[in-house]
């Protein structure tokens, strides 16, 4: 495995980090708890020492499963990345969207990051995770009702108390990052980035490179689309959010598969899967520090970790990029 420091901090995380959204079941049509825990343990055995989670993933469930998975592992041998700022148990802030929990009960999700909320969320996360500190604490989404400075003052207090090691953000613009940094030094910004979703290339990546901030790319496999295992007419289970996402429209699955067919010979040449080739391309992309990749079971976790063994030359990356430039996503 390769390990990379976040921003200008001393916090080193695995270049392939375990993304634990699906482990919470919520918005993924449920999950198998034992399989999720085994996936995390297997990933760690393969050198994936970092796990990214959030309270909202299963309304605490993902964090609880992470806590069970890391139990017995020396605390300095694992890095816990979690978040705050999305509440299902309070109605302050702004309504983000309506959803259902894992039991099918209606819930309202709010974006809220007032100072007192950040402090209490951290305490709850520490309990669920079974630890006394969080390595990277990230705001999940910008809360328009709370000044960024107020939110970051709470995070600074948590850092001074030793409850978190470093501060990060998610889904922030470059301007929002600059505002946050008037209060606390940021390590990173976690944002969506994949071969079919490259919107951060114009502004955010150049900013982070210049400011020496890390980018944690989430959904690098575009939630399974870039594995090549999906076909037009794909059926998703009840509660699976992908059914309403544009990338999973039949026409876009077809177009993506046509692109993947063109780069598959390169994957075959390297004795790698398409998913592994995509993960490697992601962490080789300028400005991208970490790829967050989820796994439902131990075998998927093992295959994801092995992506680190794929080596790409400059010419091979250019070949992939050339093929990618012909891919147009519609809708």
Largest CA distance in the chain: 54
- Dist CA 167 CA 9 (whole Å): 10
The tokens 């901030």 sit on which residue?
A: 213
Asked whether residue 130 is assigned to any structural domain, the reply reads: yes
**156-175 per-position pLDDT tens digit:** 999 999 999 999 999 999 99
The residue with greater pLDDT, 223 or 27, is 223
Please state, rounded to an integer, the average pLDDT across all residues of the chain: 95
Give the tokens for residue 53.
């989670």
Which DSSP string corresponds to 281-309? HHHHSTTEEEEEE--SSHHHHHHHHGGGG
Query: Looking at residues 250-259, what average pLDDT do you find?
Result: 94
Query: Looking at residues 274-295, what average pLDDT do you find?
Result: 97
The tokens 């995390």 sit on which residue?
A: 40
- Dist CA 141 CA 50 (whole Å): 21
The residue with greater pLDDT, 107 or 243, is 107
- pLDDT at position 244: 84
Give me the domain span that covers residue 12. Answer: 3-225+276-311
Give the tokens for residue 8.
């200008």
- Is residue 222 over pLDDT 90? yes
Number of domains the chain contains: 1
8 A C-beta contact, residue 228 and residue 264: yes
- pLDDT at position 31: 79
The pLDDT confidence band at residue 304, using thresholds 50, 70 and 90, is: very high
Asked whether residue 246 is assigned to any structural domain, the reply reads: no
In sequence order, what are the residues at sequence separation of 6 or more whose Cβ sits closer than 8 angstroms to the Cβ of residue 83? 53, 54, 55, 56, 137, 138, 139, 140, 170
Residue in 139, 173, 170 with CA at minimum distance from that of residue 156: 139
Query: Looking at residues 167-189, what average pLDDT do you find?
Result: 98
- Is residue 182 over pLDDT 80? yes
Burial 185-197 (b: 16+ CB within 10 A, else e): ebbbbbbbbbbbb
Backbone dihedral angles phi then psi of residue 2, each to the nearest 5 degrees: -105, 145
Asked whether residue 232 is assigned to any structural domain, the reply reads: no
- Is residue 282 over pLDDT 90? yes
- pLDDT at position 9: 98
Of the listed 57, 84, 110, 137, which one is catalytic? 57
Asked whether residue 219 is assigned to any structural domain, the reply reads: yes
Query: Looking at residues 181-203, what average pLDDT do you find?
Result: 97
Asked whether residue 247 is assigned to any structural domain, the reply reads: no
**SS3 assignment, position 271:** coil
Query: Looking at residues 71-75, what average pLDDT do you find?
Result: 95
- Secondary structure of 138-185 in HEC code, one letter for each residue: EECCCCCCCCHHHHHHHHHHHHHCCCEEEEEEECCCHHHHHHHCCCCC
The yes-or-no answer on residue 133 being catalytic is: no
The pLDDT confidence band at residue 314, using thresholds 50, 70 and 90, is: very high
CATH code, domain carrying 196:
3.20.20.100
Asked whether residue 123 is assigned to any structural domain, the reply reads: yes
Asked whether residue 241 is assigned to any structural domain, the reply reads: no
8 A C-beta contact, residue 58 and residue 23: yes
Asked whether residue 192 is assigned to any structural domain, the reply reads: yes
Query: Looking at residues 60-68, what average pLDDT do you find?
Result: 96
8 A C-beta contact, residue 111 and residue 144: yes
- The angle that helices 148-160 and 115-129 make with each other, rounded to 10 degrees, is 40
- Dist CA 310 CA 152 (whole Å): 39
- pLDDT at position 148: 98
In sequence order, what are the residues at sequence separation of 6 or more whose Cβ sits closer than 8 angstroms to the Cβ of residue 329? 196, 246, 247, 252, 255, 256
């Amino acid at each position: 495995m390769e390990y990379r420091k976040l921003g200008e901090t001393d916090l080193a995380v695995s270049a392939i980090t375990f993304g634990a959204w699906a482990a919470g079941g919520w918005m993924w049509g449920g999950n198998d708890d034992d399989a999720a825990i085994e996936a995390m343990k297997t990933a760690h055995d393969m050198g994936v020492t970092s796990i990214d989670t959030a309270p909202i993933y299963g309304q605490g469930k993902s964090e609880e499963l992470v806590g069970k998975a890391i139990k017995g592992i020396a605390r300095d041998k694992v890095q816990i990345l979690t978040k705050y700022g999305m509440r299902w148990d309070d109605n302050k802030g702004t309504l983000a969207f309506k959803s259902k929990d894992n039991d099918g009960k209606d819930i309202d999700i709010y974006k809220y990051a007032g100072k007192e909320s950040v402090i209490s969320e951290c305490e709850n996360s520490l309990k669920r995770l079974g630890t006394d500190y969080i390595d990277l604490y990230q705001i999940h989404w910008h809360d328009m009702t709370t000044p960024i400075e107020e939110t970051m003052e709470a995070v600074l207090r948590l850092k001074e108390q030793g409850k978190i090691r470093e501060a990060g953000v998610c889904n922030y613009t470059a301007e929002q990052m600059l505002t946050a940094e008037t209060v606390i030094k940021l390590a990173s910004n976690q944002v969506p980035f994949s071969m079919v979703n490259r919107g951060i290339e114009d502004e955010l990546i150049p900013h982070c490179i210049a400011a020496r901030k890390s980018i944690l790319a989430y959904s690098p496999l575009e939630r399974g689309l870039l594995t090549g295992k999906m076909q037009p007419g794909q059926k998703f289970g009840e509660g699976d959010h992908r059914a309403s996402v544009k990338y999973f429209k039949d026409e876009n699955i077809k177009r993506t598969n046509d692109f993947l067919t063109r780069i598959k010979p390169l994957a075959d040449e390297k004795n790698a899967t398409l998913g592994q080739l995509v993960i490697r391309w992601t962490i080789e992309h300028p400005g991208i520090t970490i790829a967050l990749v989820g796994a439902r079971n131990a075998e998927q976790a093992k295959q994801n970790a092995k992506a680190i063994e794929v080596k790409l030359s400059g010419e091979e990356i250019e070949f992939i990029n050339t093929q990618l430039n012909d891919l147009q996503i519609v809708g």
